[in-house]
Each structure stands twice: as C-alpha cells, then as structure tokens.
Amino acid sequence: MSTQATHSSLEGQHQFDVLIIGTGSAGLMSALQLSTDLSIALIAKDDVLEGSSFYAQGGISAVLDAHDNFDQHVADTLSTACGLADKEAVNFMVKNAPAAIDSLENSGVQFTKDNNAYHLTTEGGHSHRRVAHVADKTGQSIQINLLNNVKKRNNITLFEGYIAVDLLTQMDQCFGAYVLNKQTHKVESFVAHKTILATGGASKVYRYTSNPDTSTGDGIAMAKRAGCKIVNMEFAQFHPTCLYHPHAKSFLISEAIRGEGGKLHLPNGELFMHKYDERGELAPRDIVARAIDSEMKSGGLDCVYLDISFKGKDWIQQHFPTIFDKCLSFGIDISRQSIPVVPAAHYTCGGIDTNLDGQTDIKNLYAIGEVAHTRVHGANRMASNSLLECIVFAKSCAQDINQQALDSAHPSFNPWDASRVAPSNEKVVVTHLWDEVRAIMWNFVGIVRSDRRLNYAKHRLEQIEVEVNEYYSLYLISSDLVELRNLVKTAQIIIQSALARQESRGLHFNEDHPGLSKSVKNTII
Ligand code: FAD
Ligand code: SIN
C-alpha cells in the first residue's frame, strides 16, 4: 500500500493508487470503503449525481423482518433468475444485505420507518416484504448521502465531466484509462495501480428506456476491447411500467405500486394479469412485461393502465410523493385516475464477469454494480436486488484492494495521439447512427425476438460498426462519438448473445425457440 494518499498530476497525466470510473452507488460506496491511505480518482462523465442510482425508487432488498429469512431471499432470487444465477454468489449477496443497509444508514440514509421498524414493501418475485426504502426517493437519498461523505475525504479527488475512452493495458494487466476531459476536449491519461469500472448498464441501446443518458454500456465495451469475458448480455430487462406520455422522457412507475396492490388494466377497465401468471401483478418482471407487450400488440394499444387510486390521496402522497407529483405535472392525478404505462428497457443483467470481490479476468481491473456480471441475477434480476448488489460488491471489492500491497512506481504510457485526426464537420452522422442503433435494438432485439429479426439486426450493426470505426479514425473524438462507439459494441454483444441462446429463458424470449433447453449454460462472449 502507498504510504500516503498523494497523487501527482502533470498536464494531461495523472497518477493515483485507484481509479474509479463511475459515481453511481457502486462507485461512491467503493470509494468510501477504500483505505484513506490510498489516493483515489473518482470520475463521472456527467454531473456526479447523474446515473441510474439517483433515480431508484422502489428500494433495496434485505432480510430485516423476524418472519423472513436468508434462505427465502436466496430461493426467490434463484427462482426469478430462471436457473442461471450462481447459488454461492446469491448467498453471499443476501447474507451481506443487512450489513449493506447498516453501511447506508451510517452514511446518513434515513430509511422510511413505521414505529421504529423498517417500513418494508414488496415487488415482483419476493415472497416476503423485504424492500427497505426512503419513500419513493431511495436512490436520491443514497446518492446525496454517499456523495456528502466522499466530499469529506481528502484522499478522494472528484473529476466531473470526464468520460473514460479506453482502458490502459499492458500484458493482460490494467493500469488505468484514457479519459476525455469534456471541457478542454483533450484526452488525459489516468494511470493507476487498480481500476474499478462502475459505469452502470447499457439500457440506452434501446430507443425507450427508464434509464438516464449515462447508461450507454461504456464499461462493457471498454472491457470487451481490453479482452474481458462478457457474460449473459442477452438478458436485457424491460421494466413493465414506465409512464406513457409524449413529454415524459423516461419516467419509471415503481413496481412498489403493484407491491402495494396496484392493478394493471386495459383501456376498457378489464384486468389481464391473472391470465398470464397466478401471481398476477407481482409475477417477475419478464412475465409482466411480456404480458403487457402481448396485450398491446393483440389489442393495437398505445399503452395499458395501472390503478392505485383506491388507496386515497393522503396515502399515495405519503408513500409515492415523487410519482404523484411527476404524474400531476403531466395532468394525471393518480389519486383519481389510472396511470398510462408501457414497458421500457431498464436493466442489464449480463456484464463483465467477476468473482465475489469484483475482480475481472484482467489483472488489477475490477467491475462492480450494473456493469458487472457478479452471477447473482441469471436470466432475470429480482426487483431491488440491484442497489443491494452495488453496495455488497463495492464493499468486497474495496476490502480486496485494501488487503493488497501496491507498487510505489507507476508505469509510463504514451499520451493519447490526436495528430492524425481532424475536427468533424459531419456530426450529423453521429446523431443519425445513434438513433438508428436504438431503433434497430427496439424493433428487432426487444421483448419478443425471432431468429430473422436478430439476424437482420446483426447485419445492420456490422455495417454501422464499419461506419463508426471509419469516423473514429478520421475525426477528433467527442463524448457523443465515444458513447456511440460503445453503444454499437454493446448492441453487437447483446445480439450475438441472443443468437447464441437457442431457447427461451427468463428475459430472453425467442419465438423460434419457445421452450427451455435441457442444458443450463451461460453465454460467454
Ligand atoms: P449508475 O448509478 O448508473 O452510475 C454509473 C456511473 O458511471 C455514472 O456516474 C456515470 O456518469 C458513470 N459513467 C458511465 N460511463 C462512463 C465513462 N465512460 N466515463 C466516466 N464515467 C462514466 N434497483 C434497485 O435495486 N432498486 C430500485 O428501486 C431501483 N429503481 C430503479 C429506478 C430507475 C428509474 C432505474 C433507471 C433503475 C433502478 N434500479 C433499481 C436499478 C439500479 O438503480 C441500478 O442498477 C444501479 O443504481 C446501478 O448503479 P451503478 O453504480 O452500477 O451505475
Ligand atoms: C422499481 O421501483 O420498480 C424499480 C426497482 C428495481 O429496478 O429493482
């Protein structure tokens, strides 16, 4: 370990003990858990608080009630994951969940309580109430509190508006990353003994998503280019209920509304979930999203509706203040009207393969949070297990790094070479290809897939990759171009994985292979 938490920064060259890429709940928690003896660079490509974590509504799952138990949380997670989650990893996450809640409370998060006990809600797949929450602003509270603590640490330097472009690697080892400073438009080298990818998911590859703009699969694409194993990327999770309104860009209507009794219905008021699963509205997400998709397609509908109005205005405002206010801002009073909802891309279940400490198969490179495949979600993530995964694996990753002796010297790397590229006067190419990739993914690689549609998407993405690589070799990079290159790479991995899975399991449904295959295996790219 370095003896003091100092870093050096010459123009365009930085040296740290640890580089953390991403300031969601995974990135911030790992920074706080690392030894204060280490110098840490924490970089965010946008505003520090922007990322999926900030928007998390429902909460974080943990066994916190005397009538619940670890075995049941494990069993629910494994069953939702449709045979593909790893029991040891799920056990590890579930058993560390109460400690994760303690760490958040120690950081200042004040979970909603009822007479001093946690107010626990429920969501699809859970057989017990076990979702701790801060009303419907759980992510916001977590992020603000973690960030406040990070800002008090002298050993952590925050770099906001810095987008990582590619990892610095030598002989199967990672030593940091090339990072574009969005203000100066210059690429700087961040050289570090340990690098943690905490860049979140890739749901922006789809035209309609609950995710903020940051979820462009950057970490997955960078890791793939560096040679990491990427696993189970066909399992793109679609959240059943996002607000359907022309001006609501990506607003989620929490599954906790269904956990509290909310009912889905057609425009004529007819309920339909009982036709698809005996658990009705609280079946796992893959089932509810497919049911809505099927009703919309067969009925030619723009959306279906979710009703919670029967709970009354006071109760709704107390439990779901954010959702109440947001819907009202669009003229929908959810204490009197049902909410128009549609499914949208929500979560990336696959990712960079890691062990229980977040280690990837490249030395000194870690991945935590949504970018990682920690083997806990399998073919479908259970609700509120993601924030949990972020916190649990952020802690184990930091502990692993804290136990290691780090070199005092850093290797040297050539600075980024921009001598052969020119400013672009063809930016329309980038915006056009962004839209095209997302439309292809939505139309051909969505909730219900077929071999023909997947192959069409594969061929078109191959052409787009050539176009993007040509543009990349000619013009100065911008954050839009960096993200487009990553979107294309991630979309290709999703398609390749979907084509490789010749069965329908969990979130991956292919109408040419509607049954389950006898052999249960991961898709490794
Ligand atoms: P994020 O929080 O997405 O953060 C990613 C970070 O990486 C950001 O700081 C971003 O700027 C940075 N970044 C990305 N690429 C780069 C790059 N190239 N260079 C530099 N920085 C980069 N899960 C639950 O368990 N419970 C819930 O209630 C819940 N509700 C949700 C509601 C919504 C609307 C959404 C979208 C998700 C929800 N989820 C929920 C899922 C959960 O919030 C996310 O999976 C989790 O927060 C991901 O955290 P993360 O730290 O991995 O990534
Ligand atoms: C929600 O509140 O519905 C989102 C929960 C999750 O994604 O786990």
How do residues 476-507 score in pLDDT, each as one tens digit? 999 999 999 999 999 999 999 999 999 999 99
| Token representation of residue 131 | 């979702």
- Beta-carbon neighbour count of residue 307 at 10 Å? 18
CA distances (Å), origin 406, targets 17, 129, 154? 8, 44, 19
Point out the ligand 1 atom lying closest to the alpha carbon of residue 46.
11
CB 23 within 8 A of CB 147: yes
203 Cβ closer than 6 Å to some ligand 2 atom: no
The pLDDT confidence band at residue 5, using thresholds 50, 70 and 90, is low
Which residues have CB under 8 Å from 158's CB, separation 6+? 23, 42, 43, 44, 48, 150, 151
Bin 10: left if φ > 0, else alpha if -120 < ψ < 50, else beta: beta
pLDDT at residue 332 in the model: 96
For the chain, give the mean pLDDT.
Answer: 95
Ligand 2, atom 1, residue with closest C-alpha: 254
| Token representation of residue 8 | 């050096």
Which residues have CB under 8 Å from 81's CB, separation 6+? 90, 376, 377, 378, 379, 380, 381, 382, 506
Higher confidence at residue 230 or residue 2? 230
Point out the ligand 2 atom lying closest to the alpha carbon of residue 387.
8
> pTM for the full model?
0.95
Ligand 2, atom 7, residue with closest C-alpha: 383
pLDDT at residue 430 in the model: 94
383 Cβ closer than 6 Å to some ligand 2 atom: yes
Q: Is the pLDDT of residue 318 over 90?
A: yes
pLDDT at residue 9 in the model: 67
DSSP 508: B
CB 201 within 8 A of CB 387: no
DSSP 51: S
The domain spans of the chain are 241-344
pLDDT at residue 408 in the model: 80
Q: Is the pLDDT of residue 113 over 70?
A: yes
pLDDT tens for each residue of 117-176? 999 999 989 999 999 999 999 999 999 999 999 999 999 999 999 999 999 999 889 999
Q: How far is the CA of 385 from the centre of ligand 2 (A)?
A: 9
The pLDDT confidence band at residue 427, using thresholds 50, 70 and 90, is confident
- For residue 133, the ligand closest to its alpha carbon is 1
Which residue among 374, 386, 392, 480 has the greatest number of ligand 1 atoms within 8 angstroms of its CB, and so is best to mutate?
Answer: 386
Rg (CA), the chain: 22
DSSP 173: E
Point out the ligand 1 atom lying closest to the alpha carbon of residue 250.
34
Q: Is the pLDDT of residue 413 over 90?
A: no
Q: Is the pLDDT of residue 8 over 80?
A: no
Pick from 264-268, 284-288, 396-400, 447-451: least confident: 284-288
Pick from 261-265, 419-423, 459-463, 479-483: least confident: 419-423
pLDDT at residue 6 in the model: 63
Which residue among 254, 346, 387 has the greatest number of ligand 2 atoms within 8 angstroms of its CB, and so is best to mutate?
Answer: 254
123 Cβ closer than 6 Å to some ligand 1 atom: no
Which active-site residues does the annotation give? 285
Q: Is the pLDDT of residue 236 over 90?
A: yes
Q: How far is the CA of 367 from the centre of ligand 2 (A)?
A: 22
DSSP helix/strand/coil, 216: coil
pLDDT, mean of residues 348-371: 98
The pLDDT confidence band at residue 15, using thresholds 50, 70 and 90, is very high
**Percent of the chain residues past pLDDT 90, beyond the cut:** 90
pLDDT, mean of residues 274-292: 94
Q: Is the pLDDT of residue 177 over 70?
A: yes
Bin 322: left if φ > 0, else alpha if -120 < ψ < 50, else beta: alpha
pLDDT at residue 2 in the model: 39
pLDDT, mean of residues 34-45: 98
pLDDT at residue 426 in the model: 83
255 Cβ closer than 6 Å to some ligand 2 atom: yes
Written in H, E and C, the secondary structure of 271-301 is ECHHHCCCCHHHCCHHHHHHHHHHHHHHHCC
Report how far residue 429's alpha carbon sits from residue 10's, in angstroms, rounded to the nearest whole number.
35
166 Cβ closer than 6 Å to some ligand 1 atom: no
Q: What is the DSSP string of 9-40?
A: EETTEEEEEEEEE--SHHHHHHHHHS-TTS-E
CATH architecture of 241-344: Alpha-Beta Complex (3.90)
b or e along 406-443 (b: 16 or more beta carbons within 10 Å of the residue's beta carbon)? beeebeebeebeeeeeeebeeeebbeebbebbbebbbe
345 Cβ closer than 6 Å to some ligand 1 atom: no
57 Cβ closer than 6 Å to some ligand 2 atom: yes
Q: How far is the CA of 378 from the centre of ligand 1 (A)?
A: 19
pLDDT at residue 411 in the model: 87
CB 187 within 8 A of CB 176: no
Find the DSSP H helices in 9-167: 25-33, 52-55, 70-80, 87-95, 97-106, 138-151
Which residues have CB under 8 Å from 520's CB, separation 6+? 83, 84
